[in-house]
Each structure stands twice: as C-alpha cells, then as structure tokens.
Structure 1
Amino acid sequence: MANDDDFLPRLGRQNARGSKGERRYIGKVLAAANLARGGAAKARGKSGFSGSRIGRGGGIGRMLASRGGMGGSHRRRVVVKASIVRLTGKGAAAAAAHLRYLQRDGTTREGERGALNGRDADAVDGNAFLENGKADRHQFRFIVSPEDGDRYEDLKPLTRRLMAQMEKDLGTPLDWVAVDHFNTAHPHTHIVVRGKDAAGKDLVIARDYLTHGIRERAADLVELDLGPRSDREIADGLRAEIGQQRLTSIDRALLAEAGPEREVAARSPYALHQSIRAGRLAQLTRMDLAEHLGGDRYRLSLDLEGVLHRMGERGDVIRTMQREFTRLKIERAAADQVIYEPAAEGARPLVGRVLSRGLADEFEDRHYLIIDGTDGRSHYVAIGKAGQGLASGADNTGSLAGSIVRVEPLRATIRDVDRTIAAIAAANDGHYEVDLHLRHDPNASQTFAETHVRRLEAMRRESGLVERELSGRWTISADHLDRVATWQQTRLRDRPVALEVLARDPLGELVEMEAATWIDRDLTSDAAEPARGAGFGQELSDARDRRRQWLLAQGFAEDSQGRTVFADGMMDALRRRELLRVSNGMEEELGRPYREARQGERIEGVYRRSLDLVSGKHALIERSRDFTLVPWRPALEKQVGKSVSGLMRADGINWTIGRGRGGPGIP
C-alpha cells in the first residue's frame, strides 16, 4: 500500500489472496498492521519479535489480553494455571501417575473418588486416553478455578463450554479429559489436553493464549452464568481482605503505586476505597509491615511482599493440618501442630508415622506429609515434587499412610566429587574424562572415577550446566563450582528432604517378628530418637519395651547390671531367619532351591526382581541350579532380566553388569 487510503474494503469471504494471487482485504490489513508494528518497534529500538506469538491462538490471546480486565472490579475472576509437560523419557510414566492422583479419593463433594470426564461423557477411560497419547511429544495441563466456583453445583458443563471455545480459538478439535475437585476452599477443575491437533501434528499454543486467552474466555463464561459482580459483593470481598495475614489485592495495589521511597497515601477519590486502604494500612502498621508517617502517609516495609507471602503459606498449612485431623478424627492441640523446616539452622532428622499424604501445590505437583513424630507432636513436612526425596522403600505411587518414616533435611552443598572434577578440568584445559582422572590421581580406581561421570550425567540431564562431547569428554567451565551451587539450590526446591521408609508394618506387628526390624536397629543405636509425649511417641516407647522383652526371651539379649546387652551378630541372625522363611515359600514358585549368600562369595546370575522385606530391600538373583537373596541397590533396578555379578561383602555388594568382571561397576 502506497498510502493509508490505498485499499477498498469488499464484502464476502476474506481470503488473503484471490485466485490470481492478488492481495485481498485481510492480507492488506495484516500487512498494514505489520508495517505499523515494525515502525513502532524501530522507534523503540526493538525488533518487535516475541516468542509469545508462536503457535495457535496468538492473535486471539493478544486481543483478549488487551481488554485489560474489561469491566474492572465488577468482572468475575477466574484463576487459570497452565503448564506444558514433556512426555519423553520418564514423562509418560509421570503423566500416568499424575492422572491416577487426580482421581484419588476425597475430591468430590461427597468425599468420594474423583472421576475423569470428557467432551461427551461424565466418565471416561483414563487408560485409553494415555494409550492414545503414548507417542505424543508433550501434553498441556490446566487448572481452572472460578473465584465463585462454590456457586456451581457441577463444574463439568462450564469445562465443556470452555473447551469448545478453545477449539474454536485454536482452530482444531482437542483430545482432553478433566477432573473436578471440591476438596479445597475453591472448587476447581484439572484439565489434561493431548499435545496433538486434529491432523496428528504437534499442537503448539501461543503463550499469549495460555497466559491470557484461556483466563479471559473462562471469565466470560462465568459472567454469563452468574452475571457481573455487584457493588456489594466487591465491597464485602475487599473488607474481608483488610485483616488477612497474607498478600491481598489491596497490598498489590499499594505496592504498584509505591515509589522508590515506598510511600503511599490512604486517600482515594472514592469513599469505599479510602476506607479500605486506611484500614489495611493500619493493619499492616500493627504487623510492623508499614510505618505511619503522619496524616494519611505510610511507608511500606521493604520485605512486605515476602513476609505476607510466607504468612499466607503458613496459614494454608495450618488449615490443611486441621482439615486432615478432622477427617482422621484425631484431636491435636495447636501447640502440638508443627511445620517442619528443613532449611532452619540446626534442623534435625524427624522420625514418625505418616498420618496422611496430600498435594501442597496441585499445579507444581508438590506433595506434603503429616507425620506423628516421636516427640509426641504432629509435623507438616513438604517433601517436594512427586518422585523426589523418596529413598529406600518410599515408592512414589504407593500409599505411605501408616508407614514409619525418617525425614532427613537436605543442604545445598558442594561435594568432594565436584571439587575433584573442577581440579582435574583446571589442569586439563577445562576438560574431564575418566582417563584424565586416572592420570591425575594414580591411586584412583576406575569405579571411583566413574562415580564422577555419573555426577556429571545427572547435572547434564537436569540442568544442562555441563556439556558432553561426542568422544565422551566433558567440557567444564571455569566457574563450575558456582554452577554446582546454583544447581543444588534449585534441586532443593523440588527435593527439600530425603525420605526413608523404616517400616510399613504397624508397631504392634513388629514386636514379635522374626526379622531384623527397625525397632532393633533403634534399640542398638546410640543415636536413636527419644520417644516421649502422646501419640506415636508413647506407642514407640511401649513397643521398644515389648521388643526388648521378646529379644531377651529369644536369647538375643541379656540383662546386665540393670541394662540390656544385645548379642553380637543379633541383627545378622534375625535377618537370616526372615530370609529362610521367605525363601521357603519361593522354592516351589521358582522350581529350584534357595542357597544362602556367604560373605566373600562371588554372586553371579540373572537379576529377576526386588523384594521389600522387614529386614530391608533384597534382590532375587536366579542361577542355573538355585537362587539367592542379597541386599538390593537402587542402580540394580535398571538391570531386571540381565546377568549381574558381584562380590558379597559385609557392607553390601559391588555389582558388575554382565558375566565378566571387566564391566562397569554399580557401587
């Protein structure tokens, strides 16, 4: 177009080009828009390119976002959280676990198990949905939470209308399932959408649509159902925020207008707003989060936002604990409800029985446990993302309720292995590999050097902070240790604690069990946690006394001058009793006899599976004429059905893959 008037609008179908390739109306409009955007971008000194415009729905998303919440505070609000989850590697298994967890018990209005629903049915097959999407590169997950969701008896019709509107906006049918949750103060819907369009191609949704478009579409639908918010509703909502110990919409408005000096005024041209602001600023002053400067002027605290955010989280935790105690019909005084802080100075390990497990953040898939501790108090423990922080026996999918666990706080520390890698790389032009390691330290073994490679592999997979060349050599940056510290700190957000399952059996069943139980390890340890108070602490104290009497009767201990002395080899003897009992039941199943593994013996055979025994997790090794049970190691699980070899030692086995002895070791 030569000038602004150089086009003629025409009615009819708005194709970009005619049959002869000439530009038509919509093409000229887009060209004009692009030209205008380009000129504005040049004026700003920017290219104007944004990755947010890539994908379906970008234009609609920008249009909806530009409304700026049309209707102001009268508009119905809907919170929408969106994420894109890759399904490669372990992603498919994690997606299946996520879908199972969304359908867990206690999420419906009646407290029953949640049910997947879809476009045309109130009950759909989750396995079929996963099977159809098993080859997908990714999937989308949404949480849609209307502010007035409690006014809906059923959220499914709203979800179906929203998904139908999304299909129109994105220009393709969508394959999706949803679950309604009524187990929180704000009813909400989880929606999982396959990452394929109707043509079977990867579905790419523009960021503008994910961040703004879906929310605005949902708000439109809710407003059609419930009408705009009345002045009374708005006023009541704001007044309720005045005394809250969390970050509120009033605080966000005050922070937005506070200058470098963080000064704000209570005054407003509207009587209601002035009353609300004055009341909130007075409350913040009482909380030492604001300073009254005189008149209607206040100075906001520098850490106001962070403190209020933490206070809000703490309030949510307390309400969660109280809700769980009510559900379990357990009475706990407020003083006996504790939030476990693994990052606190002097934080100690926690031992106790799991009362319940739940989602602390459904969007981020972060979980919590409520643990009845040996100190007689109940502890809320954030354990991070699913699959993180779970040590021996703490599988991700099984229920932990009733299990006895040990929680260990983790620290973001730089290990000796990291310092060794940095030192070797500094001496070899920023490179690391096993051969360089062995030349650098002649006393190091091949197996020891390979532990450093596994450390680098973990960093590469999780963060990409290190690079591996095609030759297998690693490129290590000069600031490697700083990168390690950053990586470790990031990992703590997903895995703040290490969790070990000590026993799945009730305490009462462990008292007379012929096995090396957790209570035995506890009795013979100088670092055993003291048991006191009520609840689990009192039960553990009683169980210790009863187990001690059983060990005396069995000849594993004796009284000596008022104290119990345990026999040498007691734990090995108890462990052997359990292995013989378990193996007797397996001989008929496997069709071959059991033979005990002796210290110093080389174990060679095929690893079949693991067994969770009271004495600990063991590996079933099948040989040509017999089978044996030996201590299990996590790395061994990847070798199911493969030949393994290892030397039986007092502290376990150093495994080797294959029948030869030259393969890589599994320490």
Structure 2
Amino acid sequence: MTAEAEDRFLDLRNEPVDPGRQRDRTLRLRRLSKLEKMGLATEHAPGVWELSERMEPALRELGERGDIIRNMHRALKADGMERDPTTFQLHDAAPEVPIVGRVVDKYLNDELGENLTVVVDGIDGRTHHLPGIDPARIEDARIGSVVEIGPPEIASRPSDRTIAAIAEAGVYRPSRHLEQAKFEGRVPGGDYDGYVDAHVRRLEALRRAGIAERIDADQWRIPDDFESGAAAYDAGRKSQANVRILSAARLEQQIGADGATWLDRRLMSAETSDLAPTGFGQQVREAIDRRREHHIDHGDATPGPNGGTLYRRNLLATLRAREIERIGGEMAATKNLPFRAATDGEKVSGKFTGTVQLSSGKFAVVEQSHEFTLVPWRPVIERQLGKEIMGIVQGGSVSWQLGRQRGLEI
C-alpha cells in the first residue's frame, strides 16, 4: 500500500472492472478504514486517502509488541501458568518503582550478548517485560528465582563525600588525607596507603570524565558540584536496572527449606499490602501460610493468641546457621577438609575458592590448610577468586578487608 502511494496519498476513486481487482480494492478500503481508527490514515475525499508518516514505524512497533506478548504467553505456559494479557506491562527502560517477582524467562536481546530481556511475574499481579538487563547482575537467577528489579543506583559514593570533605579551598591532597586517616585510626586492617590510593584511583577515573582536575602528584582540583557530578557520572555508566536476587530458589522449594528463605523474611516483616490477590501475589500469600505451618510442625513456631504465631527467637539466624552446618558437613565429605562454622565477630581469612548458593543466600567458600568455612558473599570479592582474603563476620554479613594489592574497596 505504501509503495502505491504518491507523496503518501492513495487514490482509490476509480473502481476497476476486473472482479479480482475489485476485491483487492475492497480489502484495501477496509484496511484503510482500520488505519484511520488507529490515527494512521485520513480520508480527505471519498476514495482519496493520506497515509500518516508515522504509519510504518507505528505498525512495526505494534508487530514487535505482538511478538513480545506471544513470547510472554509462551514462557508462562512453559512454566504451567496463564495470565490475563491485560496485566502485561512492557517497559522501555529500568522501572522507576522496584518490581518484585518470579523470573519467568530471560534471553539475550542483542547480537553482542551485552543485554538480557527478563520477564518477571510480579507480586503486584502484573507480568513485566524488562529489556536491557546486565547479564552479570542476574547471572545467579534461574527460571523461578525471586528477584527485585528497580531503578539504577545513583547515590553518591562514600569515597566522593570523603574527598569533598578533605578538600581545602577546592583542592584535595592525598598526603593530607593520609595524615588524617592515620590520626583517626579508623581504617580496617590499618592499610592507610591502600585506603588513600583507592581515593586517588577514583579521582583518576573522574578526571577522565572531566569532573576533577589533577594539578600535580599531590593536588587535585575539586569543583563545588563534585559530588553531584560524580553521582551523575556513575548514573550514566550504570543506567541499567538495579537487580537483587531475593531468592535463587523457587517458591515451592522455599516452603520446606531448612535455611532462612525469602518467605521467612516476608513472615518476619508481616507485610502483605504489596501482594496482589491474584497471580503470583496470591501464590506468595499461600506459600507464606504453608511456610508458617512448616515452622509450627518443626518446632520453630507455635500458634499464638488471636490467630497469631510466636516464632523462635532469632529465627532467621537459627535457620541460616542450621543450613550452613548441614551444607558444610556435606561439602567436607567431598573436599576431605574439615568444616567449621564462623562465629559472629570472628576474623575470617584464607583463600577464596568458590561460592555456593543456599536457601539463605549466596556464600563464599574460604579455605585454610586445615579447614574451610562458609561466609556471606558480597560482590566486592568477586575479583578475588583464588586469592587470599580477610574479613570480619558481623550480624549475618561480612566486612571484607582487601589488602594492598588493590587497596580497600570504597
């Protein structure tokens, strides 16, 4: 139709004699009438039509949208689910409000393999199509895993705030920073040189972005808008959605797990207002009830007054420790190395040899010559695989202290 139009005008006033061409004309008029309802064609006179310049891109976009919806239906059906297509939400960029739900599908959406599209069956009762996800951020999520996908992180870094605070008359001096750090004595591990060097490396990156200026080896010019400029720089580099793996395990696996699951954290918060009464939201409600019954059956909870439930004190820590002991014992049998659980406040050191995904989260395997332990993993140690690391266990997390080789993570 577009090829027949002259300057986007199509003249169908002359009715052909041939029956075949008459049918073709009738079909085209019906198509034009539909395009008119879509705002993509205008009839200026009987049989004289103007095609909108937006017609081709609009129809192409509709076709792509149709393909996306069909793919979403297919992925849901493969996981044994059906959802009302009116609940489908297609996002062009990172969502402004975090989306929590179950991963239904994830696939590469470019030839270079740099971005993934993720389909999430949300607790809000909607099914979300989210393109442009960094593969590294969702690597640990499988089909069925529970994730949170939200806007990019744009908060200013502590290192940037420190640089701005140390600067005098708009000039930051590493030597002055080193003196102050030694005086305050708050650097974990006492690696003051590495601590200040990490700030200088940050300034070098910001210099290349035109945000800071190097005067000489011991002087950096810091503008008044340094912190906001640095945050904007990070936001531009990390414009992709922020992804958190809330549970690598499927909902059904969490109900009877011996570790501290996402369902347990929901139980402890007693928050249900964000759970829709339909779809995955309803399934989470039902799973929470079944998880509560599981704890009662295993002596970790008792029915309370007025229909409530009384849980074991420090339930999450107890469940986490219970799972770590079990998994550590199983790993010890295959590693021929004794397992020892780390205690709160303990300084842990050794070689970072791998990771293990538990119901309680992702844990790092830290080995010494005579034993190994499991401690909560954090992205900061990802590049330290195979190297010696050291950290302090604190309340279900670890404060990692990276040595002079890289300087402290900031």
Give the TM-score band, short-chain normalised.
0.7 to 0.9
Q: 354, 358, 361: which is aligned to 1:616?
A: 361
Q: Give distance in 2, aligned partners of 1:314 and 1:554.
A: 53
Instruction: String of CA shifts for 1:482-515, please: whole Å, max 9, x gaps.
Output: 643542442354x1x2112222333222211111
Is this contact kept in 2: 1:424–1:440, CA < 8 A?
A: no
**1:400-457 superposed Cα distances (whole Å, 9 cap, x missing partner):** 322221112225455565454345446353x453743764997584468677556546
Tell me the CA shift for residue 354 of structure 1: 1.1
Are 1:619 and 1:631, in contact at CA under 8 Å, matched by a contact in 2?
yes
CA distance in 1 between partners of 2:59 and 2:179 (Å): 52
- CA contact 1:355–1:371 (8 Å) conserved in 2: yes
8 Å CA contact retained: 1:508, 1:543: yes
* 1:515 aligned to which of 245, 259, 276: 259
Structure 2 residue 329 is matched with structure 1 residue 584: yes
CA-CA distance at 1:604 after TM superposition: 2.5
Residue matched to 2:19? none
Q: Deviation at 1:361?
A: 4.2
SS class of match (2:257) = coil
Distance in 2 between residues matched to 1:381 and 1:514, nearest whole Å: 32
Question: Which one of the candidate residues 135, 145, 155 is aligned to 1:403?
Answer: 145
- TM-score, normalization by structure 2: 0.73
Superposed displacement of residue 607, structure 1: 2.1
In 1, the alpha carbon distance for the partners of 2:238 and 2:36 equals 34
Q: Is the 8 A contact 2:342 2:375 kept in 1?
A: yes
**CA offset at residue 478 of structure 1?**
5.7
Which secondary structure state, in structure 2, belongs to the residue aligned with residue 400 of structure 1?
coil
Q: How far did 1:609 drift?
A: 1.7
Distance in 1, matches of 2:329 and 2:351, equals 20
- 2:86 is aligned with 1:335: yes
1:487 corresponding residue in structure 2: 233
Matched, 1:368 2:112: no
What whole-Å deviation, never above 9, does each CA across 1:264-293 have from its counterpart, x for those lacking one? xx799xx9xxxxxxxxxx99998789999x
Superposed CA RMSD in Å reads 4.6
1:121-167 per-position Cα deviation (integer Å, ceiling 9, x unaligned): xxxxxxxxxxxxxxxxxxxxxxxxxxxxxxxxxxxxxxxxxxxxxxx
1:356 aligns to 2:99 (yes or no): no
Secondary structure of the 1:376 match is: coil
Counterparts in 2 of 1:363 and 1:593: CA distance versus 1, 3 Å: closer
What is the CA–CA distance in structure 2 between the aligned matches of 1:451 and 1:636, rounded to whole Å? Answer: 15
Deviation of the 1:547 alpha carbon? 0.6
Whose relative contact order is higher, 1 or 2, with alpha carbons under 8 Å and at least 6 apart? 2
1:540-568 deviation line (CA, Å, top 9, x unaligned): 22211111001112222222221123222
Distance of 1:642 and 1:526 partners within structure 2: 41
Map of 2:346 onto structure 1: 601
**1:320-375 Cα shifts (integer Å, max 9, x gaps):** 1323313645543231111247666xx43211111111234446843211111112
Unmatched segments (≥5 aa) in structure 1: 1-235, 243-249, 255-265, 272-281
Question: Structure 1 residues 558, 472: CA separation in 2 closer, same or farther (over 3 Å shift)?
Answer: farther
Tell me the alpha carbon deviations over residues 614-641 of structure 1, each in whole angstroms, 9 at most, x when there is no partner: 1111122222322221112222232233
**1:179-201 superposed Cα distances (whole Å, 9 cap, x missing partner):** xxxxxxxxxxxxxxxxxxxxxxx
The answer for the alignment partner of 1:279 in structure 2 is: none
Output the CA distance in 1 between the equivalents of 2:400 and 2:142: 30
Distance 1:594 1:377, change over 3 A: same
Paired AA for residue 589 in structure 1: T
CA contact under 8 A between 2:170 and 2:221: conserved in structure 1? no
* SS in structure 1 of the partner of residue 275 of structure 2: coil
Q: 1:594 to 1:351 in 2, by over 3 A?
A: same
Correspondence list, 1:94-113, <5 A: none
Native 8 Å contact 2:181 2:187 kept in 1:
no
Matched to 1:530, the amino acid is D
* Aligned amino acid, residue 550 of structure 1: H
Q: Do the aligned residues in 1 keep the contact of 2:93 with 2:131 (CA within 8 Å)? A: no
- Asked if structure 2 preserves the Cα contact closer than 8 Å seen for 1:607 and 1:643, the reply is yes
8 A contact 2:380–2:409 mirrored in 1: yes
For 2:408 and 2:97, locate their aligned partners in 1 and report how far apart those are by CA, in whole Å: 34
SS of residue paired to 1:604: strand
Structure 1: distance between partners of 2:255 and 2:187: 45
**Corresponding position of 1:10:** none
Q: Could you tell me whether the CA contact under 8 Å between 1:365 and 1:385 is conserved in 2?
A: yes
The amino acid of 2:68's aligned partner reads T
Partner of residue 205, structure 1 = none
Partner secondary structure for residue 603 of structure 1 = strand
- Per-residue CA deviation, residues 558-598 of structure 1 (Å, 9 max, x unaligned), is 22221123222111111111111111112233323222211
Query: Counterparts of 1:272-351 in structure 2 under 5 Å?
Result: 316-326=64-74, 328=77, 331-340=82-91, 347-351=96-100
If you compute each CA radius of gyration, which structure gives the higher value, 1 or 2?
1
Q: Tell me the residue number matched to 1:548.
A: 292
Could you tell me which amino acid in structure 2 is paired with residue 484 of structure 1? A
Q: Is the 8 A contact 1:360 1:367 kept in 2?
A: yes
Partner secondary structure for residue 584 of structure 1:
helix
Distance change (3 Å), C-alpha of 1:371 and 1:606: same
User: Which of 541, 544, 562 is the matching residue for 2:307?
Assistant: 562
Give, in whole Å, the separation in 1 of the partners of 2:392 and 2:204: 26
Is the CA contact (8 Å cut-off) linking 1:370 and 1:378 kept in structure 2? yes
Matches of 2:377 and 2:219 in 1, distance apart? 31
Q: Which amino acid aligns with 2:73?
A: F
For 1:320, give the aligned amino acid.
I
Amino acid at match of 1:547: R
Question: CA, structure 1 residues 639+541, in 2 after alignment: closer, same or farther (shift >3 Å)?
Answer: same
1:380 maps to what in 2?
129
Identical positions, percent: 29
Q: Given the superposition, is the C-alpha separation of residues 348 and 657 from structure 1 closer, same or farther in structure 2, using an over 3 Å criterion?
A: closer
- Describe the shift of the 1:627–1:488 C-alpha distance in structure 2 as closer, same or farther (beyond 3 A): closer
Q: Which piece of structure 1 moves more, 575-584 or 437-446? A: 437-446
Q: Hey, what does 2:26 align to over in structure 1?
A: none
Contact 2:338 2:370 survives alignment (8 Å)? yes
2:341 is paired with a residue of what secondary structure?
A: coil
Structure 2: how far apart are the matches of 1:412 and 1:506? 30
* Alpha-carbon distance in structure 2 between the residues aligned to 1:417 and 1:622: 31
Contact 1:374/1:529 (<8 A) preserved: no
Q: Secondary structure at the match of 1:524?
A: helix
Q: 1:492 to 1:618 in 2, by over 3 A?
A: closer
2:20 matched to which residue of 1?
none
Is residue 656 from structure 1 mapped to residue 404 from structure 2 by the alignment? Answer: no
Distance 1:311 1:438 in 2: 65
Q: Take 1:420 and 1:291, find their aligned partners in 2: how far apart are those partners?
A: 62
Q: Name the aligned partner's letter for residue 436 of structure 1.
A: H
AA of the residue aligned to 2:177: L
